[in-house]
Structure 1
């Protein structure tokens, strides 16, 4: 390489190094403790310091505290650094390979830090401590915590510790740690501030378990090789704050220490000049903070600083967002009357110390309330009754859903102090005529208004009510009736009363007063025949009067009023009747006496009424009946024991049937009929007479005959066949030879053919009637 190229490269590297160095902080590790406190940390004539001391790395020329400057990308342009390693090692950039620390023999931890953080194993502690006296009532300073433990999964397991410890100088009380997360007592550390850490493998491939994010919003991020400090990660700018008592001496100890492993170092950077004292009025009193000043409240801003030693100026921002001095406001306190941003400057006489306090004040809107009254009925006319104070809950707050009711009180003082509330405002008994009680209502910010409620007892009277009488109209006459109170009772109650009243009903007068157990509009009395209920007439929340009403239920269940069926013979007339003695009768055919004549079948009814106007209806079913007319018969004969007869008839009655006029049956079919001549008849069960007589012949043939001349069964003949229409009987032997033919004039077959006696045997016959009926069979000849 040519000399010119070597020269150019050297120049370039120097420029590049200077550029990198310009981005990193520069640490002065030789600064003395008093200079760090009095000239770097504190820049205020309102704070006096003394007794400054420090301790850290015991290795010569390796001081672990110092001042720093520079760092274009670092939030603080200068300040103090306290570290668990030589403070010079805090200078950037971050080099991960050098992040592991070195154990220094004889460099111990800090017992105050151990106690404050609840640990017992801190090592390599560095601290600055001093006494100070503030001339106002609060102090604060800014800081950043940085650590090489912000790598791998270390924040899931362990962290170096640091604290800003304060207590009254010379006292034995415990220190208070100011290095905590806002509005908590949680100390800031790598384990309490970090992002989500996933599971991973270590350098040797071993599994490392991650953990969820903790207070990630306070983590500024991981550092790189271009970072101004030599730490793996850091928090955002944090603020340490506490209230103090003006002119009281305090001791402050700023301390950081390594954990027991001593392997990865940490540091805390404190911004130069950020240690200031302010007049603290507390947080802003605004709607956004949910704590505005209540309308009409006398609110005073108080510096709590002795007036003779200070002069005061009070300011308020104008419309242009500029502070304008308030004329005449020169005392240590100022009564605020309007919304705005306020500031006070307290100047210590004879010094340049000027302490400043600022606060934003907003006044909540006025709570709109309404005084009202309650008008209640008195069930015993003694002037004392039970009021439901909650009935005016919406009225007193003007129906504003954003306002809440916070109780009712007997005195204004109790309502204002929110003490001794009425324990049961739904059932409050007045203690005097026209008594006034007080309702406390509040907005979302706890501001209150106290409207009044006047308790009045109604003197209005509802006239005595006549009983409401109804008839028990269902099938079970038990004296119970389902009243429609709105249509059957309310119109009577409201007669003659002022318009606009609403009537509700209750079982007892006490329930009516307290409006408990209100009856449904459709009400069935629970006491048979007679029950008294109570009507309460009211206009909104005001009771007009309460009156009893008797509900009467009449029963009406006359005897012998079941539905009946009666029969009317064709061409006749019958009488339908019920008992005498009822107030009225109304028949379905128009009759109005206890009986009526009818000559037509159909459904009839009579409704009777008793002296109470209750009705009962009886139904009559009239059925037409007449004698039957027998028109014929279906006869099954020549069948031995299976002979049967079915009587054929017409008519609309209810009939029974007989073949002999003595024995009757409901079925017109008769079975197992012996051969013979029968006189069939039908008669009406309803008494409308018998039918015509109809003669029926049932025939059958002998199954054998014995022509032996003894006079018994000597001829084979069919009995009563001569009464039948013309017929022809032909007799054959087993070979089909015709042996005999007979008609109505024949007397029978004697068993002789051509003068010769036929032998004992079976013979066949054919019976053919002129109407086409054909009967075949066989019989035996026995000798």
Structure 2
């Protein structure tokens, strides 16, 4: 008996539009005979049978060269439409495959495949079997690395970061990816773990399984490592002064995988002879990934002083002065005996006599000297004899 669960009611002369059902339909008239007293007794007349079909589309053609599949010589035709379908190869040979969408034991070559649906719609596609991809084609994943300041076996990883590498150009809506802790679980699909996973050892191998959502005929697996890396722990930044025309070796902390200086050099130790700020990136390398730290070396250049001028005031016998003007790269201190130095560049309350001025670079880059005389004349005899004629 037709009802609302298996039929659509239509009245005489009525038109129903937008019926989104496919397959074979029958137009039935149900009526009660006039000679029965049973209200549940009906008679039926079948007026017609007809088919409603959706468009026939050959969605794709794959080979079965995947885990659980039968190999690259077998191909699967994925279609959308109204079944049942009839599959056949029409060139370069003829194979009638009936309603089986898998052709087996094909030699490499170009084939024309014909598909016919319930309503007689026909689609043909030409394929080269050597160009076909498997139903599932898993990309090779790289390891996942999280950098910690201390060595540890545990870190929380987001495994969904691997999706792009695993899928490649495949439509993610057609495929399901799961992660597992053993190869046997990946092969069976059992015991999948969450995409957000906390590792329990370092490194830890994770196995990945990929299946097609509608073509459940084969799968593929691969694996990658979860690595908890260690960030290099470097000493404090360094401030160094070198003497002019000298050089110094800058040495990075030892025990790490690689070094990259701001000069472009990649050795642990470099030599420099100019002032400036130098940096080195020190890293622990984990395959294509690394954990890194940076250290700064600030270099200043110092040098011996140039004594440009000495200004003296020697108009008394015991209260004279010396002022020293210098130039150079360094920071300087001053002395009149080469033993006791002061930061000021002037000396006062000096008695008359001969002095040696010492100018020393505080970074040890040399001492400059100059001799001066403080000759206060107590009298003069302007008689033209050449002695004490002037004062």
TM-score band by shorter chain is 0.3 to 0.5
State the TM-score, normalized to the length of structure 2: 0.43
Larger Rg computed on CA atoms: 1
- More contact order relative to length (CA 8 Å, sep ≥ 6): 2
Greater share of helix: 1
State the TM-score, normalized to the length of structure 1: 0.24
